[in-house]
Chains A and B, each alone.
Chain A
Amino acid sequence: MIRQKFYRGNLTFKDKIIGIDYLLLFSVLLLGIISIFAMYSSEQGKFGYYTASHLYRFCAFFLVFIAISFFNPQFWHKSSYLFYIVVLGLLLAVDQFGIAASGSKRWINLFFINLQPSELMKVALIIFLSRYYSKISIEQVTSLKKLMIPFFALLIPVFLIASQPDLGTALLVAISGLFVIWLTGFKIKYFLYSFLFFISLMPVAISLLKPYQKARILTFINPERDPLGAGYQIIQSKIAVGSGGIFGKGFLQGSQSYLDYLPEKHTDFIFTLFSEEFGFVGCVFLLFIYALIIYRIILIGSNSRNNFSKLYCYGFAAAFFSYVAVNMSMVLGLLPIVGAPLPIMSYGGSSMLSIMIGLGITMSCKIYQQDGVE
């Protein structure tokens, strides 16, 4: 009987409340609280502009997260193409009417918010591909005919974002999309072929890179090359992380961030600030929360009875993982510096909105996890 009810997708409010994955919810809440404290510390212990707007955003988007959770995944399934097209439209609009800041055009003024559509594309692409592949059988996945749509659905936004230029986000969007495609059973050898193809394109790509992007890659190989210029960020970041030690310098005691040595400490380098103040123990704890969130997302996916939910959750988990991994590897000097925010922790409305939408859909998959495909 109960099963019947679930199949119809008519859950009472009470059922929905019971269906929530509280561990995921509280992990996200905890991360949000940590991020507000980190933001507070980044402003030298003042409840300043960044802290305030980060707090408001987190509260607002956390509500968005809960609200989205209560929708049936069927709704997301149906509107996924529309969502993708709207976001793609916004990306095109950025290209035309975007707001330029520090040499790149990434934002669009929606009067009440400056939106960064490239961040929303991270989720939109995953939903789009999940829907597209949820109906396709394994045999068809590798056929050229079925490959055309995802190929362009992936390539167009990536190209648009890369030309903003925002190489980091473009890369992350591409990775998220490729994860989904791979999960559906796309043969590994094709990945290998295309990988080799990209390698052969490398010299061309390098010649297309902007000088600052080249400098970043050269700096990654040898940060001491230009310690006060391109290498400054990564050196100062490593100093901050390394000087944190086991237990850190203590909350509000991070001299590197307090004395403005840390670049972009609100956004991409927030993890550096955190690790300087809370040390190895704090970092491992933070990493544990992220791992827990990813684990819960995967668990929701594996408990889902329909392929759309499954694909979406796995895809989103992989994307979420890649955001965390790329950001941390970057500030620890394991990867070149690319613009990649740390989910929820970093300051930035669009990024947080995108993550919260993604988490909301995941949560709705949890609440409606017994639903099969109609």
Chain B
Amino acid sequence: MLNFSENIQSKSKLISRRMFILSSIKIAVFVTIISRLFYLQISENIKWRSLSDRNRLREWKTIPQRGTIEDYFGNKIAKNTQVFQLHMIPEDVPNIEELFFRLTRIIDFNEKKKRNLLKRLKKRKPWEPIIISDNLSWEEFSRLNLLLHEIPGIKPVVALARQYMDESSSSHIIGYVSNASVKDLENSKLLREINVPGLKTGKNGLEKNLNESMIGQPGLQRFEVNAFGKRIKELKLIQGIPGKDFKTTLDQEVQKFSSKLIKDSSGSICVMDIYTGDIVTMVSSPTFDSNKFVHGISLKDWESLLKNEKKPLLNKSLSGLYPPGSTIKPIVALSALENEIVSSKFVVKCKGSIELYGQTYHCWKDKGHGYMSLRSAIKQSCDVYFYEISRRLGIDRMSITAKKFGLGKKVLENFIEEKSGIVPNTKWKLQNIGKGWVLGETLISGIGQGYFQSTPLQLCLMMAQLANGGYEIKPRIIDDKYALQPITQAWREEFYNKKNNLDLPNPVIKKLYKNEENIKFVLDALYGATNEPMGTSYRSRLTKKNYTFAGKTGTSQVKTITPEQRKLKLKNKDMVYEDRDHALFVGFAPYKNPRYAISVVIEHGGTGSSAAAPVAKKVIKKILDRHELRKKYQLDLFQGV
């Protein structure tokens, strides 16, 4: 019994001894755990805390409000407007088929849109809202709101979207915005930085040129998110900075008026302030609806725009190239006078054609004009007279004058679509065509045919710089207040000396002429062309004293007329559309104290006097009617400075 007890005793001792060893191990393990906790929670705390925050916080950028574009009078051309959108939160929709079925009865929703939506849905997380429709009508929106309680998972949203208010008259200048494409992102660092889903970016026109200033800075929403990325609550909201607003020099009223005038034909109208270079009107026809692009243009609309032979997407004022035709004659005349090749008294007899270097060159008037002086040659646009003085002047001297007055180079900055046109000379031909200059080419260049290519805006600038007395101006379309270019004494007195404290840059005045009398002579001849019998635009004159304008018509041939055709005396309207002549008109108004220069180009419109001049007449009247308004608005603006 004792033995057994002893046995138990020693066993108990053994167990206790081993227990002691085990306890030491336990303590060691607990110490290890505490050290580990110390290491994680105290030594490395900052590291883990930042990782925790990175888990917890997610930031979303908000789309900044895009800057607006105004016309000269502060009317919005491009603005941001409320649009009614329908969003869906997929995870809240109990039955998607039922939802679609109900939607087809409430809003414009069809099978095609459904398929498109389902396709987009696959790439989304179930709690991310998806846009079902981004432009609902007010009726649809109110109907939706009425039935909202019956349709779970959808959310009507009021958002901002671009809206163009110009009835498509300024579509080419303003351009349009649309969703940023992969290519847009590749090309723009700013867009890559902003990178907000649903961001619209300018695709062309001013929307593209001014994109970086107008787009603004995105805001920031910081959310706490759970492990699945679902937003739990908003922690911080930084408002975005709206983009810069821009004011243009355009008069929206005139834009609309001009656009309507030529909406059935293909062409362009440009009107410029001859002192400030402000572009009052610049329309291109036919036009397109910028609004259609904002929410994604339909394939059908896009194809019809592309297929249209009148090329509605092309801004013809900047990118359309036309031979200037007779509208170049004032420049040729000026060049001849300036270079003292001929005097204004120089007389040529026009017999309807002239034979030079073994070729016959025709005047537009088969019977001929008879004896012509320089003034009457401009007035009646006698080709034979200009063949003669061009021959004497030579192409190189002619091209110098033409370039000086704005042809052959880009007029505006920043418009990538603008073309520079061609003012040919001997060097140009050798470089670009690789052949020597032929004298006959000088003759046809003298009447604005041949290699001559110009844009309507260049022609307008040419006219403006003649009309202001031969001073260089810098045309502009963005009205940045301090970039005004007052160049004549009259202009300065009218506007600036009234308020001497204006901090305006002293303008650099650059004369484009040698002898002031030559300019005056040309302008007087242009007066004759419009306001005297036999003048080419006599029928389109405005008789009221304050509306009197002066200008030069032009009819530029698209195709060389063959001798057979000449015999047939084909009328323009009998020819196929593409072969008909372009009708042009350049002018300025009013004749006394001129302020505006105009150029009108009607593609394949026939003769300048029958197609272009009547349009110019209407536009000039409209512009002059609005001149006082424009002047008053400018003065009021300065009073406010």
Contacts and interface: CB of A to CB of B under 8 A. Distances in A.
B8 interface: yes
A308 to B, nearest CB: 11
A230 interface: no
A291 interface: yes
A163 interface: no
A310 B33 contact: no
Contacts of B55: 236, 239, 255-256, 259, 261
Is the contact region of chain A dominated by helix, strand, or loop, or is it mixed? Answer: helix
B492 interface: no
A182 B14 CA distance: 10
Interface in B47-100: 47-49, 51-52, 55-56
B19 A332 contact: no
Interface string A99-138: 0000000000000000000000000000000000000011
Interface string A344-361: 000000000000000000
A291 B41 contact: no
Contacts of B226: 259-261
Interface string B25-48: 010011011101110111011011
A183 interface: yes
Contacts of A260: 226-228
Chain B interface category by residue count: 35 or more
Interface in A227-275: 236, 238-246, 255-256, 259-261, 275
A147 interface: no
A239 B10 contact: no
B50 to A, nearest CB: 8
Residue of B26, B29, B36, B51 with most chain A CB atoms under a 10 A cut-off: B26
B629 interface: no
Contacts of B11: 137-138, 184-185, 307
Given A259-B55, A287-B33, A332-B36, A302 B19 contact: yes
Contacts of A280: 37-38, 41-42
B7 interface: yes
Contacts of B23: 298
A184 B15 contact: yes
Nearest to A372: B8
Provide the main secondary structure of the chain B interface: helix
A334 B32 CA distance: 9
A241 B22 contact: no
B26 A332 contact: no
B414 interface: no
B56 A259 contact: yes
A138 B18 contact: no
Interface in A306-345: 307, 310-311, 314, 318, 321, 325, 328-329, 332-334
A284 interface: yes
B40 A241 contact: yes
A327 B37 CA distance: 13
A105 B480 CA distance: 78
Question: Could you say which interface size class chain A belongs to?
Answer: 35 or more
A223 B534 CA distance: 96
Interface in B229-245: 232
Contact of B12 (A236, A284, A310): A310
B45 A243 contact: yes
Nearest to A136: B11
A242 B51 CA distance: 9
A255 B56 contact: yes
A248 to B, nearest CB: 9
B136 interface: no
B220 interface: no
Nearest to B7: A137
15 contacts: A184-B11, A241-B37, A241-B41, A242-B48, A243-B51, A259-B226, A287-B30, A294-B26, A298-B19, A298-B23, A302-B16, A310-B12, A325-B26, A325-B33, A333-B36
Interface of B: 7-8, 10-12, 14-16, 18-19, 22-23, 26, 29-30, 32-34, 36-38, 40-42, 44-45, 47-49, 51-52, 55-56, 224-228, 232
Closest 7 CB pairs of A and B: A242-B48, A243-B52, A259-B226, A260-B227, A280-B41, A242-B40, A243-B49
Given A280-B38, A314-B22, 11 more contacts: A239-B48, A242-B49, A242-B51, A245-B49, A246-B45, A255-B224, A256-B55, A259-B226, A261-B55, A311-B15, A333-B36
